[in-house]
Every structure is written in C-alpha cells, then in structure tokens.
Chains A and B, each alone.
Chain A
Amino acid sequence: MLAALRAVYLLKGVWAILAALLVGSILIRLGDSNPIEAYQALFTGAFFEYHGFATTLVKMSPMLLAGLAVALPLRAGQFNIGAEGQIYLGALFATWAALYLPDVLPGWLHIIICSLAGMIGGGLWGLIPGYLKAVHNVNEVIVTLLMNYIGINLVSYFVSGPMLAEGAPYPYSDEIREALWLPYILPGTDAHLGVVIGIIFAIVLYYVFKRTSVGLSLATVGHNPAAARYAGMSVRRHIILSLVLGGALAGLAGTYEVLGLKYRLFHMFSAGYGFDGIVVALLAEGNPLLVAAAALFLGGLRSGANIMQRAVGVPTTAVEAIQGLVVIFVAASVAFRYESSYLAAAWRRRKVMDAALAAERREAQDKAEEAKQP
C-alpha cells in the first residue's frame, strides 16, 4: 500500500505529461479535430513507423545534447537559458572548420576537428555568461537569454554576408563536402550518428555526476556554495566550468545539425532546440540518463506533430502549445513530494498513534498486574 503510494508520487512526471496531453486534447478539439485520432496518429507515427521513428531520432539528437547543456550547469545551480544561442555559435564554428580548413585530412579526423570547433564556439558562448556571473555577479539567466538573440543574428549575419553561398536565394552557406557528413544509422533515412554521440555523452555525464570528484564538487557548489568554499572548492571556477562545458555540449548539438542533417549553415536553422533542451532537462530533473529518455519523448512529439498535421489536419503549433503545457505541469508536479503530502502526513500520524496506543495498553496491563498483587 505504502510502496504503491510512493510509486504514484515517483511517477509524477508521467502523470504531468498525461495531464498536459489531456488539456492539449481540448486545444485539438478547438481546432475541430478528434484528439484520440490525433494522438494516435502522433504516437504511432513517431515511435512505431520506420521513417517516423527515424525522424524522431533526428529531432532527438539536438534535443538530447541541448538537454545535457542545460542539465550540466544546473548541477552547479546555473540556469543556462542560452543553449539556443550556443547551438548557433557551435554550428557557425563547425561550418567554418568544415568549409575553410584545407581538405587534406581524412574525413573522420576532419569531423572530429569540426566537432571540437563547434564545442569551442558553444563553449565561448557559455564562457561569457559564466565569467560575468562568477566575476561580476551578473544574473546568468538574463545574460544567456539575451545572448541567444545575439547568437542567432550573428549566424544570420555570416550566412547573409561573408559566408553566403554564391547565387543562394536564401541566406545559407556553401554545402560542406560529403566526406564530412555524419554516417547514417538507419538506412534510407535522415537518422544520423549525432543521437548515438548524444547518448554516449549522457552516459559519460551520468558517470561523472555520480562517481567523480568533479561531479560531486559541482553538486556541492550548486546546493550550497558556502559549504563548497569551506571545502576549498572555487565556486567561481566551477560556475564558469559548468557553463563552458554546457555551452560546448550545445555547440555540439549545432555542429551535428550541420554535419548530420543540413550540410550547410542556414539562417534560423534551429527550431528552438535550445529551449527544448530546457524542457528536457527539467523533465529529467537533471539526470543525464533521463535526459536521453525525455529527449526521445519530446523528439517523438515533434516528429509526430508533422505526421498528425498530415493525417488529421491539426497544425503543428498545437504540439508547441502542448509542449508548453508539459513544462507547466511538470514544473507543478515538482512541488508534489510524497514526503510532504497529506497522505504521508496522515500515515506518519497513524504510526505515532499506534505507538501511543501500544504504550497505553502496556500501562493498562501494568496497572492491572499491580492491582492483582496486593
């Protein structure tokens, strides 16, 4: 009974998602469609059809890396709302490395160099808010928020100016050479290696969080900076490190959008994956392995949205709204803990009462025995 109750509370994220889907069904009704049919089309398409699932993986790749980009700084108590901008900077640096480095290197090595360049780009975009927070105590939420717009426009500037492909009708760069394209993982689809790399990073990060001194120092800085300083950890350094590494992961997300999917740098190429990363990290409560699961779910929601639009005629923006609902309900569910629930309190009171009753019974027995002995 108690275990079941605890499990109900542990699954609160799932309940939150279901609640969001339920409210979302009202939106779908508003759009004159049948919610059950719509959801059926969405989830079957996203998870149980070969091509649909491949699209899910394509969307999952940047969401997963961006989710880690949010989860890592969150460990140190920093809100990285700037993954979107970091994705753009990562893509910019990676594209530059792909297009302008001499193509003398073997493809795989050049891909690694592009990845490193992407991580440097994203890391740089994380370094700025990290440095400003650590040294000047400027609120990282606002700085990362604003830097998104700078990053997006910076890429727009490059692809409509210095990097503009000749004769392009729309701002985009030249195509990168085929040797630098990421390998496909599902034949005949767009699903690329990015998602595998993302999962590897999730596992590594999980291990780092649980088993290394850096992971635990980050958590101490996040929970309790005063104790961290007392323990001899540099709070500044950890804050900067966490945002730089977070930015690097987001940069990698941008890199693989270019190397794995688009093969060019486009103006406005990221469909808000940096913001999806926030949702993913939040759903996963910062646990890297759960980040992967949450990214899979959200990726499915996104790829299913297109299928739903084709099959039932519900606009994809409905899914954006549902995603917002998911965040709201998940955020609300965080407030419900088993330990502080009314039921748990009632249960604790029962235990106290049982103990009191037992004590009184003993007293009564003692008295009865005393009475017997004259």
Chain B
Amino acid sequence: MMEILLDPTMLSDFLSTSLRLSIPIVFAALGGVLSERAGVYNIGLEGMMLAGAFGAAVGTFFTGEPFFGVISGMFAGALTAVVLAILAVSLGVNQIVAGIAINMFSIGVTAFLSRIVFSGQANTMTLPGYKAFAIPGLVAIPVIGPVLFQQDALVYLMYATVLLLFYLMFYTPWGLNIRAVGENPRAADTAGVRVNMVRYICVLGSGALAGLGGCYLVLSHVFLFSEHMSAGKGFIALAAIILGRWNPVGALFACLLFGLFDALQLRLQFANPEVPYQAFVILPYVVSILALVGLIGKPRPPGAVGLPYRREGK
C-alpha cells in the first residue's frame, strides 16, 4: 500500500478515485446543509438521491442528452423533496418519520417505474454520460492538478456549487434568512422573514442537490440505473453534515474523507482477493461512525432543526 504515496501517478490516480467516489455524497451533503440550516432534518436525502438517479436515467434515455438527464434528475429530487416539505413544514409531522417515508417510497417507486420505463433492459443498456476533460493550465499542477482538473462537468459543477452555497449562506440576505429561520424561527418571523417559505425553498433546493448526486451516479459512474443504487450514500452524507458542522466547505472536506476511505477499501479489496470483499466494504461506514464519536468539540446543530414552526394563536 505504501508505494501509492511514493509514486506520483499512483497517488494522483488514488486521490482522483477518492474524489470521484465522494461526489455523490458531496451533493447530498450540500443539500442536507441547506435544509438543516433552515431547520429541517433531511433523512430523506437517500431517497432524493435515488429519485435523482432515476430521473437522470429517464431524461437521458429519452433525449439521449446527459444535460437533460441532469435537469430531469434535479427535478425528480426536488419533486421528492416536495413531499418532505409538505409533511415536515406544512403538516408539522416528525421530520425523521417523514424522511424515512420518503426513502421507502423512493426505493419502491423507482424500482417499479424503472421496470416499466426500461422494460427489463435497465441493467444491460448503457446511457450516454459525462466524460472527463482537462482544464488547461491547472491540470499541469503536479499530483493535485490531474486529481482536481481532469474530471467531468459534474465535478466542476460541484466545485461551483460548494462556493456558491458558501457565499449564499454567509454573505447574502437569503443566507441570513436561512440561518435565522433554522436557529430561531420565532425571532425570524417577528423580524418579517417568511419562515415556512424559506423552509420550503431550502427543502426543495436540498432535494435538487441530492438529485444531482444521483445524476452523478448515473451519468458519470455506471451509465445505467439500478435498483437502490444510492446504497446508503445519503446516510453517509448525514454524517458528513455533522462532521462539516453545517458548513458547505466543511461538509465538502468531510465527504472527501469518506471518499478517501471508500477508495482505500476498493484498493484493499483488489490487493487482498483472498479476503471476502465485505470485510472492506464496511470501512466508510465504520469511519463515519468513528468520526462522529471522535469529533473534536461538540458540534452545535442549528437551534431549531427538527422543530416544525407554528405561529401561536391566530
């Protein structure tokens, strides 16, 4: 294993794999940051990611254009998020319950619809997707260059999204409203912020972002849709949100950490064919839990996360 660290090409290769493996989690985690900052737990990230993957596959299948796949994937994610918004924001249903409901529905409905839409060939066909291209100049940076700048369009979109979300959250009136609503909705309400509208938009945005994660799975990873292909990535994203302290940039780094361990376990599998691969598959999950336990200092979630907001009286 050590030779990876010494050989620049192998190291680049390894880090590049890590980055690619973390992309779907990054998008989902960004979605989670957005909705949790506004005060809504999103356990449904997994289901939204899956819906996004399905949407991407359907969109690309019918148009032949990955771009439309991305659009329909984000739309499918957001559509699933509408359910969470209605349940959690309007009806005040327990947000964990609502999220679980969404995951189950999404797993069932995408499996069902994929059989109808792709009529059995879902596992055999190959969809068009995104291919890596180098960004001239930047790619020449040793080791890091090929890792960061020899990727496909969705990865570059991820960089932009992280920065955009960071700026939105901390430097715009919108971000201020979001943070206020997630921290103390009553105070935000009295200051004239439309609490539930902000929450709706954030939950929908969260669904679209998680959907993007699903798009990446389909359009850059495997080029087909398979049942429950999100395989728990949405749940790892939940851990990444906490680890990244509800900050888009922090969440990015947490996800990169998980991607690193995912790449590591793949390499370990490959290097140790005599050991059943499952021994290594659990690595990212174990790391997620250990990271949550070993967190330095207590992370402080947004003050009102999980609590529905109602004006009293009326």
A and B touch in the complex (CB under 8 A): yes
Chain A residues close to B by CB (< 8 Å):
27, 30-31, 79, 81, 132, 136-139, 141-143, 145-150, 153-154, 156-157, 160-161, 275, 278-279, 282, 315, 317-325, 327-328, 330-332, 334-335
Chain B residues lying within 8 Å of A27, measured Cβ to Cβ, are 109, 112
Segment among B163-171, B173-181, B279-287 that sits at the interface with chain A: B279-287
Chain B residues lying within 8 Å of A138, measured Cβ to Cβ, are 289, 292-293
Cβ–Cβ contact B96 & A146, under 8 A: no
Chain A residues lying within 8 Å of B236, measured Cβ to Cβ, are 146
Chain B residues lying within 8 Å of A279, measured Cβ to Cβ, are 104
Cβ–Cβ contact B87 & A331, under 8 A: yes
Given A147-B285, A328-B102; A317-B278 close (CB under 8 Å)? no
Q: A142-B239, A153-B282, A327-B105 are in contact. List 13 more A-B contacts (CB 8 A).
A: A138-B293, A147-B285, A150-B282, A150-B285, A150-B286, A275-B100, A275-B104, A320-B111, A320-B112, A321-B109, A331-B93, A332-B93, A335-B92
Pairs across A and B, CB under 8 Å, 22 listed: A81-B100, A142-B242, A143-B289, A145-B43, A146-B235, A148-B232, A150-B285, A154-B278, A157-B279, A275-B100, A279-B104, A282-B97, A317-B115, A320-B112, A324-B105, A324-B106, A325-B105, A327-B105, A328-B87, A328-B101, A331-B93, A334-B97
Given A146-B232, A146-B239, A279-B104; A328-B43 close (CB under 8 Å)? no
Contact of B112 (CB < 8 Å), options: A79, A81, A132, A321: A321
Interface string of B48-92 (1 = CB under 8 A from A): 000000000000000000000000000000000001001100011
B89 CB to closest chain A CB, in angstroms? 11
Chain B residues lying within 8 Å of A150, measured Cβ to Cβ, are 282, 285-286
Cβ–Cβ contact A161 & B275, under 8 A: yes
Cβ–Cβ contact B285 & A142, under 8 A: no
Cβ–Cβ contact B278 & A79, under 8 A: no
Interface size on B, as a range, is 35 or more
B269 CB to closest chain A CB, in angstroms? 12
B165 CB to closest chain A CB, in angstroms? 21
Kindly state whether residue B311 has any CB partner on chain A within 8 Å.
no
A254 CB to closest chain B CB, in angstroms? 17
Chain A residues lying within 8 Å of B279, measured Cβ to Cβ, are 153, 157, 161
Bound Cα distance from A318 to B86, whole angstroms: 23
Chain B residues lying within 8 Å of A141, measured Cβ to Cβ, are 43, 96, 238
Chain B residues lying within 8 Å of A282, measured Cβ to Cβ, are 97, 100
Chain B residues lying within 8 Å of A332, measured Cβ to Cβ, are 86-87, 91, 93
Bound Cα distance from A275 to B206, whole angstroms: 24
Kindly state whether residue B107 has any CB partner on chain A within 8 Å.
yes
Cβ–Cβ contact B104 & A324, under 8 A: yes
- Complex: chain B residue closest to A85, CB-CB: B285
Bound Cα distance from A360 to B227, whole angstroms: 69
B174 CB to closest chain A CB, in angstroms? 27
Kindly state whether residue B288 has any CB partner on chain A within 8 Å.
yes
Chain B residues lying within 8 Å of A335, measured Cβ to Cβ, are 87, 91-93
Contact of A315 (CB < 8 Å), options: B93, B112, B276, B298: B112
B307 CB to closest chain A CB, in angstroms? 14
- Complex: chain B residue closest to A325, CB-CB: B105
Main secondary structure of the interface of A (DSSP, over half): helix
Cβ–Cβ contact A142 & B109, under 8 A: no
- Complex: chain A residue closest to B237, CB-CB: A142
Bound Cα distance from A306 to B108, whole angstroms: 15
Chain A residues lying within 8 Å of B278, measured Cβ to Cβ, are 153-154, 156-157, 160
Chain B residues lying within 8 Å of A330, measured Cβ to Cβ, are 101
Chain B residues lying within 8 Å of A81, measured Cβ to Cβ, are 100
9 closest pairs, A vs B, by CB?
Answer: A324-B105, A320-B108, A321-B108, A335-B91, A327-B101, A157-B278, A317-B112, A321-B109, A317-B111
Looking at B102, B104, B115, B289, the one whose CB has the most chain A CB atoms below 10 A away is B104
Chain A residues lying within 8 Å of B104, measured Cβ to Cβ, are 275, 279, 320, 323-324, 327
Chain A residues lying within 8 Å of B242, measured Cβ to Cβ, are 139, 142
Cβ–Cβ contact B101 & A324, under 8 A: yes
Contact of A31 (CB < 8 Å), options: B96, B101, B116, B276: B116
Looking at A143, A315, A328, the one whose CB has the most chain B CB atoms below 10 A away is A328
Given A160-B278, A161-B275; A147-B87 close (CB under 8 Å)? no
Kindly state whether residue B23 has any CB partner on chain A within 8 Å.
no
- Complex: chain B residue closest to A320, CB-CB: B108
B162 CB to closest chain A CB, in angstroms? 22
- Complex: chain A residue closest to B83, CB-CB: A328
Chain A residues lying within 8 Å of B286, measured Cβ to Cβ, are 150
Interface string of B219-240 (1 = CB under 8 A from A): 0000000010000100110110
Given A142-B235, A146-B236, A332-B87; A324-B276 close (CB under 8 Å)? no
Chain A residues lying within 8 Å of B292, measured Cβ to Cβ, are 132, 138-139, 142-143
Bound Cα distance from A150 to B215, whole angstroms: 26
Cβ–Cβ contact B112 & A149, under 8 A: no
B101 CB to closest chain A CB, in angstroms? 4
Chain B residues lying within 8 Å of A153, measured Cβ to Cβ, are 278-279, 281-282
Kindly state whether residue B98 has any CB partner on chain A within 8 Å.
yes
Within 251-304 of B, Cβ neighbours of A (below 8 Å) are at 275-276, 278-279, 281-282, 285-286, 288-289, 292-293, 298
Chain A residues lying within 8 Å of B282, measured Cβ to Cβ, are 149-150, 153-154
Cβ–Cβ contact A156 & B276, under 8 A: yes
Contact of A149 (CB < 8 Å), options: B83, B105, B109, B285: B285
A30 CB to closest chain B CB, in angstroms? 6
Interface string of B239-250 (1 = CB under 8 A from A): 100100000000
Looking at B91, B278, B279, the one whose CB has the most chain A CB atoms below 10 A away is B278
Cβ–Cβ contact A320 & B107, under 8 A: yes
Bound Cα distance from A325 to B108, whole angstroms: 9
